[in-house]
Amino acid sequence: MGERQPGPQSAVHRRREETSVMQYSCPTCGSQNTQRLSTAYMSGVSEFSAVTSGFGWARAPVFGSGWTSGASQTQLSKIAAPPTKKSYRNALFLLFLAPFIGPAPFAILERIYGVAPVYEHLAVVLGILLEIVAFVWLISTFTFNKTVWPKLCRHWQLHFVCLRCGQIYVSG
C-alpha cells in the first residue's frame, strides 16, 4: 500500500499556518535569548529554610541554635512579577473602625470645651461618611479584582523579556 498523500490545502488554512509562527526574537536587539515573563518570575523565586548552631565562650560555655526560613528573589524576577490583586484589608479596617475613628475628635472637643449638640451631629456625620468611603473602597476593590485584574494577568502572560537587553515586549 502506498503512502497517503495530503490533500490540497485551502488558502485560508495556508495563511493561518504562515501567521501562526510566533516571533520569539527581541524586537530591539534581535536576540533569541528570550523568556516569558511568567517563566522569568517563577525561575527567580526560591524558598529556603536553614538551621544554625554555634558554641562560644562568655565567662562560661554558651551554646545556641536558630532556625530560619524565607524566600529569595532575583531582580529579574521582581521586574517580571505578575500584576497583584488589590487587598481588602485596609477597606475592612476602615469599615470596622469608622464608628470609633469618626466620633473620636469630637469626643476630645467635648471633653475640652464641654458638651455641645453640634459636636454630636458632626461626630455622626463623620462616622457615616467614613462608612460610605469604606463601602465605596470595598466595591472598587472587588470590581478591580473581578474585572481589571484578570485582563492584566492575561496581558502579563503574553509578554516576553529579552535576556540580552532587558526589553519587555509582546511576541507576535
Report DSSP state, residue 127. Answer: H
Domain range for 139 is 22-44+75-170
Q: How many domains does the chain have?
A: 1
Look at residue 22 in the predicted model and tell me its pLDDT. Answer: 55
In-domain check, residue 62: no
pLDDT digits (tens, 9 = 90+) for 88-112: 999 999 999 988 888 888 778 777 8
CA dihedral of residues 160, 164, 167, 169 (deg, nearest 10)? -30
In-domain check, residue 55: no
In-domain check, residue 67: no
Least confident of 8-22, 83-97, 135-149, 153-167: 8-22
In-domain check, residue 70: no
CA-to-CA separations, 74 to 43, 81, 128, in angstroms, rounded? 9, 11, 46
- Contacts of residue 151, defined as CB under 8 A and 6 or more positions apart, other chains included, come to none
In-domain check, residue 36: yes
In-domain check, residue 8: no
pLDDT digits (tens, 9 = 90+) for 126-154: 889 999 999 999 999 999 999 999 999 99
Write down the mean pLDDT value for the chain.
Answer: 84
In-domain check, residue 31: yes
CA dihedral of residues 25, 30, 33, 34 (deg, nearest 10)? -40
In-domain check, residue 131: yes
Q: Please state the pTM of the whole predicted model.
A: 0.64
> In this model, does residue 118 exceed pLDDT 50?
yes
User: How far is Cα 161 from Cα 159, in angstroms, rounded to an integer?
Assistant: 7
The residue ranking higher by pLDDT, 49 or 9, is 49
| Residue 50 one-letter amino acid | A
Look at residue 16 in the predicted model and tell me its pLDDT. Answer: 46
Look at residue 165 in the predicted model and tell me its pLDDT. Answer: 92
